[in-house]
Amino acid sequence: MDLRDRPEDEAFRTDVRAWMADHVVGEFAALGGRGGSGDETFGFEVRLEWEQVLAAAGWIGIGWSVEHGGRGASIAQQVIFNEEYVRAKAPGRASILGEGLLGPTIIQFGTPEQQARFLPPILAGGELWCQGYSEPNAGSDLANVATKAELDGDEWVVTGQKVWTSGAHQADWCFVVCRTEPGSFRHKGLSYLLVPMDQPGVEVRPITQLTRTSEFNEVFFDGARTARDNVVGDVGDGWSVALATLAFERGVGLLGHQLSFRRELDRLVEVARENGASSNPVIRQRLARSYAELEILRYNTLRSLSGFDAPVAPPEASIIKLFWATWHQQLGELAMAIRGVSSTVTEGFPYELDEFQRTFLFSRSETIYGGSNEIQKNIIGERVLGLPPEPKGTSR
């Protein structure tokens, strides 16, 4: 695998870098790249404006085919775009669920009418989406979904509760996995519905996180309605659509992610130098190890992405997820060790976290969302090592 840019990719990199230099200015530059995980409320209105700037230049959905309004950018170019995005400290994206998850799902499974209705507003940075999968009794065990939908004339009526729904308080639409065949069991009888959020039957209750922000929410559907045609894929076949969406969750965005990890690590090394922690041999070892592991992560991700024009598939996706989530959590712990007791004090009132405090606290969730570490280990154990499958529940 040759990791250098090919000539056409070099030109693409130059274009992206120049565009970022011209546009990450003024109030966008003032955000300093903030607005990421654990920091979602920061500068939200400005970040919404930024979505319009990206959209106007055709930088949303660059990996989508030209036929569907994207640029048909290669994996290498998507990686370059993400790298340059992070390098330029462009604003944290207001929401990537439409672009990264729902859009590709509709391209793969949607009807032409659904594609015409839902793709353009995503590319225009105009409609925000949230993901209605998890429920109080259906997290790791997603097939246990109990939220139900019944047809009433030309509309589905949705009743049930979702939880941990990121961005539901800002979203215009939710893609909801629900049970449309009464009495069906596990992954059978589920459907993938698109439900508008702004209606009386939808109530969103924010959940306050350790970071004191409320990225995610409980969402109660109580007779919420959506048009009969707003089912992606066949009625009763929502499980395969839902899994396809999950596969899109892991892809080229990961490399941009890693560049921001690298920036965090670089800053942490600076802090260690400044406060003298760098002369502590244990801290030095932990920093060196962190650096080496980040390099491993980068090359492994590149290796997984190279040669594919599709999302990273399991089991590679599970290995990468397990590795990056654990790495970042350990970085947060290392940051606290380097900062010493000062890491336990916040500067602002009542709870203004600095970058490393945010990383330390938010990264606790990274080994949970997108499939917990234990679930990734189960996948690796069963699919890579060929260990006996874990016993499935037999009570029903």
Catalytic residues: 249
Q: How far is the CB of 214 from ligand FAD (least distance, A)?
A: 11
Of the residues 53, 271, 375, 379, which one makes contact with ligand FAD according to CB under 6 A? 375
Residue 17 to residue 11: CA distance in whole angstroms: 10
What is the smallest separation between the CB atom of 34 and ligand FAD, expressed in angstroms?
17
b/e map 362-384, b = 16+ CB within 10 Å: bbebbbebebbbebbebbbbeee
Contact between 164 and ligand FAD by CB under 6 A: the answer reads yes
Please state the closest distance from residue 177 (CB atom) to ligand FAD, in A: 8
Give CA–CA dist 285/278, Å, rounded.
Answer: 10
Of the pair 287, 319, the CB lying nearest ligand FAD is at 319
Beta bridge partners of 152: 155
Q: Judged by CB under 6 A, which of 378, 379, 380, 382 binds ligand FAD?
A: 378
Residue type, 120: P
Distance between CA 18 and CA 15 in Å, rounded? 5
Q: Is there binding between residue 42 and ligand FAD (CB under 6 A)?
A: no
Q: Candidates 18-26, 77-85, 277-285, 373-381: pick the segment binding ligand FAD (CB under 6 A).
A: 373-381
**By CB under 6 A, residue 175 contacts ligand FAD:** no
Task: Report 119-158 residues binding ligand FAD (CB under 6 A).
Answer: 130-134, 139-141
Q: Which stretch binds ligand FAD (CB under 6 A): 67-75, 276-284, 327-335, 364-372?
A: 364-372
Residue 121 Cα distances to 51, 73, 110, 193, 274, angstroms: 11, 20, 15, 18, 47
In sign, the C-alpha dihedral spanning 170, 232, 142, 154 is positive
Among 161, 165, 213, 258, binds ligand FAD (CB under 6 A): 165
Paired with 191 in beta bridges are 178
187 exposure class (CB count in 10 Å sphere: 0-12, 13-18, 19+): middle
Residues of 267-305 as b/e, b for ≥16 C-beta within 10 angstroms? ebbeebeeeebbeeeebeebbeebeebbeebbeebbebb
Instruction: Find the shortest distance in angstroms from Cβ 141 to ligand FAD.
Output: 6
Taking a C-beta distance cutoff of 8 angstroms, is the pair 342, 357 a contact?
Answer: no
| Residue of 77, 82, 105, 365 interacting with ligand FAD (CB under 6 A) | 365
| Closest distance to ligand FAD from the beta carbon of 147 (Å) | 11
Residue 300 contacts ligand FAD per CB under 6 A: no
Query: Would you say the C-alpha torsion 46, 52, 55, 56 has a positive or negative sign?
Result: negative
Q: Which of 19, 28, 216, 327 binds ligand FAD (CB under 6 A)?
A: 216
- Least CB distance to ligand FAD at residue 163 (A): 7
Asked if 372 interacts with ligand FAD (CB under 6 A), we say yes
Point out which residues bind ligand FAD (CB under 6 A). Answer: 130-134, 139-141, 164-166, 216, 365, 368-369, 372, 374-375, 378, 390
